[in-house]
Chain A
Amino acid sequence: MGTKEILENLKQSIIDGNRKATPALAQKAIDMELPPYAIVTDACSPAMAEVGELYQQGEYFVPEILMSAKAFEAAMAVIEPHLKSKRLEFTGTVVLGVSEGDIHSIGKNLVAIMLEASGFNVVDLGTDVPAKKFIGAAIKSNADIIGVSALMTTSMIGMKDIVRLVKEEGLGVKVMVGGGPVNQEYADSIGADAYGRDAMDAVRVARNLMEDVRGA
């Protein structure tokens, strides 16, 4: 199997969500002494980008994306120990979590994996996260963006507190929000900087916010 073929097979395995076959393909690429960073940039990340496109086209839904995310993680578990250092430069740092009173994690997990696949450093706070914890983590990690997810109408209210605390603390961090009941109108009403419709849109939104951060 040649270099091109192994990378293509690895990429396709991730797209197919085959988490059983993917680690062996990643290991094979390592054994062939391909540069680990190139395996990520030429196979793993493009695979997740294509998964995102398949979602946008209505081909993939949550189960398919989840399995691709699992396969991506399985590949990265093989490759990461071989990377001499973590990425020299992240696209940006995102503190991510599910709003307080809510434990629905699937959407947040998908956002995390898509952001990571796009070169972001993700600080994942998990679910049921109080507003103050977002602020503390953003300060500690010198984050560029806070991303908040909520699936429930009762927990989306907590997003407002995060936006307020960011302003009160005078942090330069941007706040992006998303999740089932959230829409652009709600994001605007609480003063959030951006709204992401889904995990793929969150990547676009985060990239746009990074332009604002860098331009500030």
Chain B
Amino acid sequence: MQSGKELIDTALYGGTPERIPVSIVSTAWIFNNYGLDLALVDRDGEKMAKSWLAFNKEFGADSVCPMLSPMLIPEYYGSEMRIPPGGFPLLVKPAIQEPADLDKLEAFDLAGEPRIAAAVDCVKRLVKEIGSNTFIWLVCIGPISTLSRLMDTQLIMECLVEDPAFIERAFAFSVEVFKTTMEPLIEIGVDAIDFSDPVASPDMVSPRMYKRFFWKHDREVAKWIQSQGVHAIYHICGNVLRIIEEMQNTTARGLSVDAPLDLAQARDRVPDATLIGNVDPANIIMNGTPDAVTVACKEAMIRGGSNGRFILAPGCDVPPTSPPKNIDAMIRAVKQFGHYPIEF
């Protein structure tokens, strides 16, 4: 029987594993579920690792998903952030108020950064304890969307029209910072880096603008990650059908897709891509019942994964208040119904 690690590896390499694997991609839910505060835990590698180890034991998913704190880069450069109780990080005051502020930012210096040290510590513990059988799926904000925590997203949108040269510089800067912060984690044995880029969503920017400004940077990131011997998993929120071919052309081995995407249509567009998703985080995982979760999982599996190259996952980060029984239902769904050939 394939281990969780082998199941996901097989799917990401484009094969058909014994059954559809499942990954509970979560930054805040996991800590909320184990009584920890996201605002505090990101400096404590031991506590983060303990949460994922407890999750691994309790739920038996195929992966654990440690994170590099989404607060790290924004706060390093002076953005003010806050995390509401049971919520996700919010940008309160951006470091870049106007384009000229970008030039004041220096290269990222890893030395003495407790959140980097904590992420490294967490990953090391997970690799040591369960890394031989469980897939280590590192979750982080991609460089383009990290920029939206260094400057207001509305300013990014305005500059895309009025100051494209600045946007090019800003994206390139953010990519370099991203690589610097990822290096210590790559070295210690993560299996994949899942970088999300919600600002590139077709809900926000046109496919034309995505291709002109975003794609080449995300492609650079995907290729760089994979040149280090690690799978790149690329997430964009919203309905990405219009850019799914370009997403695949970044070379990322996994395309993580959100609930609004029709998986069957996506499968037609990119038959060779490994799709990851796309159970509705809000309306099913957070607000639904276990039965509704099972129905949604079966639908995702049949529409996206009937011929392999598919990993069941939430469409986006699991909402922190989601009931554990719904997470359990997702994992049960693949174990009960996800064996190939898929037949319900």
A positions within 8 Å CB-CB of B: 17, 58, 60-64, 66-67, 70, 101-106, 109, 128, 152-157, 180-183, 185-186, 189
Cβ–Cβ < 8 Å partners of A64 in chain B: 161, 206
Contact B321 A157, beta carbon cutoff 8 Å: yes
Question: Is A152 within 8 A of B237, CB to CB?
Answer: no
**A63 near B87 (CB under 8 angstroms)?**
no
Contact A105 B88 (CB under 8 A): no
A154-B86, A181-B281 known; A17+B161 contact, CB < 8 A: yes
Which residue in B87, B162, B205, B287 is a CB contact (below 8 Å) of A152? B87
Give every chain B residue within 8 A of A182 (Cβ-Cβ): 282
Closest approach, in angstroms, between the C-beta of A68 and any C-beta of chain B?
Answer: 10
Q: Could you tell me the distance in whole angstroms from the C-beta of B18 to the nearest C-beta in chain A?
A: 32
Task: Tell me which residues across on chain B come within 8 A of A156, comparing CB atoms.
Answer: 282
Q: Are B161 and A154 in contact (CB under 8 A)?
A: no
Check A189–B205 contact: CB distance below 8 A. Answer: no
Is B157 close to A, CB under 8 A? yes
Given A106-B157, A189-B287, the answer on whether A154 and B206 have CB atoms closer than 8 Å is no
Q: Which residue of B lies closest to A100 (CB)?
A: B84
CB pair A61–B91 under 8 Å, yes or no, is no
CB <8 Å contact, B161 and A67 = yes
Interface status of B92 (Cβ within 8 A of chain A): yes
Q: Which of A63, A64, A67, A157 has the largest number of chain B CB atoms within 10 A?
A: A63
Compute how far the CA of A67 lies from the CA of B153 in the bound complex, rounded to whole angstroms. Answer: 13
B80 vs chain A, min Cβ distance (A):
11
What are 13 A-to-B residue pairs whose CB atoms are below 8 Å? A61-B204, A61-B206, A61-B209, A64-B206, A101-B84, A103-B92, A153-B281, A153-B316, A154-B87, A154-B319, A154-B321, A155-B87, A180-B237
Chain A proximity mask over B76-109: 1 for CB below 8 Å, otherwise 0: 0000000010111011100000000000000000
Q: Which single residue of chain A is at the shortest CB-CB distance from B162?
A: A67
Q: A153 touching B282 by the CB < 8 A rule? A: yes
State the CA gap A109–B154 with chains docked (Å).
Answer: 10
Q: Are A67 and B319 in contact (CB under 8 A)?
A: no
Q: With A62-B157, A180-B237 as given contacts, are A186 and B205 in contact (CB-CB < 8 Å)?
A: no
Chain B interface bracket (under 10, 10 to 19, 20 to 34, 35 or more) = 20 to 34
Contacts of B205 in A (CB 8 A): 61-63
Q: How far is the CB of A61 from chain B (nearest CB, A)?
A: 4
- Contact residues in A for B158 (Cβ distance below 8 Å): 63, 66-67, 70
Would you give the shortest CB distance from B150 to chain A, in whole angstroms?
A: 15
A186 CB contact (under 8 Å) in B91, B206, B283: B283
C-alpha spacing A17/B157, complex, angstroms: 12
Complex contacts, A102 vs chain B, CB 8 Å: 90
Q: Which interface residue of A104, A109, A153, A185 has the most chain B CB atoms within 10 A?
A: A153
- Cβ contacts under 8 Å, B160 to chain A: 63
Would you call B299 an interface residue if the criterion is a C-beta within 8 Å of the partner chain's C-beta atoms? no
- How long is the Cα–Cα vector from A64 to B205 in the complex, in angstroms? 9
A154–B88 touching, CB < 8 Å: yes
Are A63 and B161 neighbours in the complex by a CB distance under 8 Å? yes
| B287 & A186 in contact (Cβ 8 Å cutoff) | yes
- Complex alpha-carbon distance, A58 and B207, angstroms: 10
With beta carbons under 8 angstroms apart, the residue of A67, A153, A155 that contacts B286 is A153
Residues of A within 8 A of B87 (CB): 101, 152, 154-155
- CB-nearest residue of chain B relative to A66? B157
Q: Mark B282-309, 1 if CB is under 8 A from A, else 0.
A: 1100110000000000000000000000
Instruction: Verify if B254 is at the interface (C-beta below 8 Å from A).
Output: no
A204 to B116 Cα, complex, angstroms: 48
Q: Which residue of B lies closest to A105 (CB)?
A: B154
Q: Which residues of A contact B316 (CB under 8 A)?
A: 153
Taken together as a complex, chains A and B put the C-alpha atoms of A101 and B88 apart, in Å, by 9
Q: Do A183 and B283 touch across chains, with their CB atoms under 8 A apart?
A: yes
Contact between A103 and B91, CB atoms less than 8 A apart: yes
Residues of B within 8 A of A128 (CB): 90
B21: interface (CB < 8 Å) = no
A67: chain B residues within 8 A (beta carbon): 158, 161-162
Report the bound CA distance from A102 to B82 in whole Å.
11
